[in-house]
């Protein structure tokens, strides 16, 4: 007797949601290859080599830089006792509160020709010395590194905290020096965490639009945006999008594969963790100085400038009533999107965790497609779908919310899944055993128990939506500006003071999400 696949009404709901979330991408793939492909050949010859080189070199550069920065800070913080260690422990997570486009706009001011950094450098090294322009590879590298190294820091810190000290002691007992131990034992053992953080960073870099667009550095996302807005060439944009998504998918599978290959098992039983070693005066000074530099560059200085500009703008009366409209737009839009995401994500996560049939897992995986879908690509997908198929909805808030859903449901879905998995299915079975139907069981037993996790998921998605830039730029109804869009528009015109109030507000709003992230269990594997 075959154990038949159970297709409940809930299953159909799950299939429907998964289709809604994946269909736009499929439509892009379809339309990329239908129609006139001569444009594509042109694109292939002219722009592609530059885009590929730029995107890949930026990804590699940022990876190396963030690894160095993230691992060394995590190592020092987990292993040594120095001044202000408790502060640095969470202080290095704060840079995540600054969206890439805000950091980029601050750095275009700082690094510009004749800007404050170059001036002070010339004061030190002579008037003829010039620094590289921010509108370059170097600019993008600096901004993206400062923006993403906390991911490496978080994962490496978790790995070092759960690290079994016995391995290092064994190495040292066999005569290895401290450096040898670090490079031959400690680092290889946390490799899964490093690979996972690399994955996060690379995905972040290749899908970032805000920073590269303000720094005018030609990567795939920026080129896709230009094809859409500048040339109205949707087909080329679709081809570029497909290439980018393919790259992300290959990378995703490579990471999965690697993670399976390198499953290191910490010896079972008691794990001996390190007690931080005290530092000498000199070491204290050196660590404090270098940490301060990183922190000022990644968080302190940008926030200081934003506050200063905001105050100036405020006293000059440049913060008008339209500012409050933007706040309202952002909040209402993001709250609606986050609530919708929660409503759509719940059946998917529930089905996959309670009835893990192939179909249900496939629905869940489908919802995760947004994970490898950069903002401009998600926007393009909806743009093409709605202009071609349902034109009367195009240019409405509905399309924008759908873009947010596709793009950010994966982030919330992870939190929702783990919350649901923490509820022992026995509890639901006990409820049903006591005569309670499925609906009542969910609302009286399951939901109260996952409320915390679901609230966190909602908050995370809400704040990601507040920060969303490319899809909002491309899909917003005419005259409907959000905080993020205002920052970008003003910053593109180099109107630093006007961009500051919305930017500062986004940073302040993002801080709770950052703490949620830092509390999350960052163990890889």
Partner 1 sequence: MTCGYQSDVPTVRSLTLHLQAGNILCLLGPSGCGKTTTLRAIAGFEKLSAGEIHLQGEVLASTSVHLPPEQRRVGMIFQEYALFPHMNVENNVAFGLYHWKASDRQARVQAMLDLVGLQGLEHRFPHELSGGQQQRVAIARALAPKPLMLLLDEPFSNLDPDMTIKMRKELYRVLRQTQTTAILVTHDHEEAFAMADQVAVMQNGVLVQCDTPETIYQQPSCSFVAEFIGQANTIPGIIQNGKIETEIGTIPNQSDFESQSRVLVMVRPDDIQFTPSESGPGRIESRQFQGSQTLYSIRLKSGQLIHCCMKPIPVYNIETSVIVHVTTSHTILFPQPALS
Which residues of the chain form contacts with partner 1 (CB under 8 A)? 1-3, 424, 426-427, 429-437, 440, 444-445, 448-449
* Class of residue 472 by CB neighbours under 10 A (exposed 0-12, middle 13-18, buried 19+): buried
Distance CA 168, CA 354 (A): 41
Distance CA 428, CA 180 (A): 52
Q: How many CB atoms lie within 10 A of CB 399?
A: 24
Residue whose CB is less far from partner 1, 2 or 173:
2
- For residue 107, CA distances in Å to 61, 92, 291 come to 18, 19, 19
Contact 224, 377 (CB under 8 A): yes
For every residue of 215-266, DSSP letters joined together read TT---HHHHHHHHHHTS--HHHHHHHHHHHHHHHHHHHHHHHHHHHHT-PPP
Residue whose CB is less far from partner 1, 270 or 437:
437
Q: How many CB atoms lie within 10 A of CB 281?
A: 7
DSSP assigned state of 443: I
> Shortest Cβ distance from residue 444 to partner 1 (Å)?
8
> Shortest Cβ distance from residue 416 to partner 1 (Å)?
18
Residue whose CB is less far from partner 1, 280 or 426:
426
Residue whose CB is less far from partner 1, 135 or 442:
442
Nearest CA-CA partner of 211 in 160, 140, 260, 150: 140
> Shortest Cβ distance from residue 420 to partner 1 (Å)?
15
> Shortest Cβ distance from residue 360 to partner 1 (Å)?
16
Residue whose CB is less far from partner 1, 205 or 431:
431
> Shortest Cβ distance from residue 74 to partner 1 (Å)?
34
Distance CA 348, CA 344 (A): 7
Q: How many CB atoms lie within 10 A of CB 270?
A: 8
> Shortest Cβ distance from residue 4 to partner 1 (Å)?
9
CA atoms within 13 A on the CB side of 19: 6
Nearest CA-CA partner of 201 in 137, 135, 255: 255
Residue whose CB is less far from partner 1, 84 or 425:
425
Residue whose CB is less far from partner 1, 175 or 435:
435
> Shortest Cβ distance from residue 449 to partner 1 (Å)?
6
Q: Whole-angstrom distance between the N-terminal and C-terminal Cα of the chain?
A: 37
> Shortest Cβ distance from residue 452 to partner 1 (Å)?
11
> Shortest Cβ distance from residue 422 to partner 1 (Å)?
11
Residue whose CB is less far from partner 1, 449 or 489:
449
Residue whose CB is less far from partner 1, 4 or 263:
4
- Residues in contact with 499: Cβ distance below 8 Å, sequence separation at least 6, in sequence order: 105, 309, 486, 487, 488, 490, 491
Residue whose CB is less far from partner 1, 64 or 427:
427
Q: Tokens for 420?
A: 């649901």
> Shortest Cβ distance from residue 363 to partner 1 (Å)?
22
DSSP assigned state of 35: S
């Amino acid at each position: 007797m075959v154990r038949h696949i159970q297709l409940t009404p809930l299953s159909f709901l799950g299939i429907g949601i998964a289709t809604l979330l994946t269909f736009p991408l499929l439509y892009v793939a379809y339309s990329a290859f239908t129609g006139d492909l001569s444009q594509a050949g042109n694109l292939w010859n002219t722009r592609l080599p530059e885009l590929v080189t730029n995107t890949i070199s930026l990804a590699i550069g940022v990876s190396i830089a963030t690894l160095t920065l993230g691992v060394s800070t995590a190592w020092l913080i987990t292993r040594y006792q120095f001044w202000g260690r408790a502060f640095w422990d969470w202080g290095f997570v704060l840079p995540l509160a600054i969206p890439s486009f805000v950091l980029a706009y601050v750095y275009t001011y700082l690094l510009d020709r004749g800007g404050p950094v170059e001036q002070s450098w010339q004061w030190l090294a002579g008037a003829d010395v010039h620094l590289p322009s921010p509108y370059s590879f170097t600019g993008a590298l600096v901004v993206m590194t400062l923006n993403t190294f906390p991911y490496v820091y978080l994962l490496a810190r978790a790995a070092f905290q759960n690290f079994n000290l016995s391995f290092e002691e064994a190495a040292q007992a066999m005569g290895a020096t401290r450096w040898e131990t670090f490079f031959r034992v400690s680092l290889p053992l946390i490799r899964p965490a490093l690979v996972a953080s690399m994955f996060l960073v690379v995905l972040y870099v290749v899908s970032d639009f805000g920073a590269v667009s303000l720094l005018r550095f030609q990567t795939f996302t920026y080129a896709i945006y230009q094809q859409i807005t500048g040339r109205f060439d949707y087909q080329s944009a679709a081809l570029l999008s497909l290439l980018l998504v393919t790259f992300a998918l290959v990378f995703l599978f490579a990471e999965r594969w690697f993670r399976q290959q390198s499953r290191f098992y910490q010896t079972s039983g008691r794990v001996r963790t390190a007690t931080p070693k005290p530092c000498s005066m000199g070491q204290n000074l050196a660590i404090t100085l270098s940490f301060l530099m990183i922190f000022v560059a990644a968080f302190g200085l940008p926030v200081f400038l934003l506050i200063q500009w905001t105050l100036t703008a405020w006293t000059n009366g440049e913060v008008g009533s339209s500012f409050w409209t933007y706040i309202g737009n952002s909040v209402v839009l993001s709250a609606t999107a986050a609530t919708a995401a929660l409503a759509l994500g719940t059946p998917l996560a529930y089905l996959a965790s309670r009835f893990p049939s192939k179909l249900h897992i496939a629905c869940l995986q489908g919802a995760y497609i947004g994970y490898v879908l950069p903002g401009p690509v998600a926007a393009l997908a909806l743009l093409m779908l709605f202009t071609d198929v349902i034109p009367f909805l195009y240019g409405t808030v509905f399309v924008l919310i759908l873009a947010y859903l596709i793009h950010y449901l994966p982030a919330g879905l992870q939190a929702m899944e783990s919350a649901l998995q923490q509820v022992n299915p026995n509890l639901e079975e006990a409820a049903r055993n006591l005569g309670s139907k499925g609906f009542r069981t969910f609302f009286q037993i399951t939901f109260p128990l996952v409320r915390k996790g679901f609230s966190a998921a909602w908050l995370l998605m809400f704040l990601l939506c507040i920060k969303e830039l490319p899809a909002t730029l491309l899909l917003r109804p005419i005259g409907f500006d959000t905080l993020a869009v205002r920052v970008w528009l003003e910053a593109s015109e180099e109107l630093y003071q006007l961009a500051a109030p919305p930017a500062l507000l986004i940073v302040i709003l993002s801080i709770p999400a950052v703490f949620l992230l830092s509390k999350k269990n960052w163990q890889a594997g």
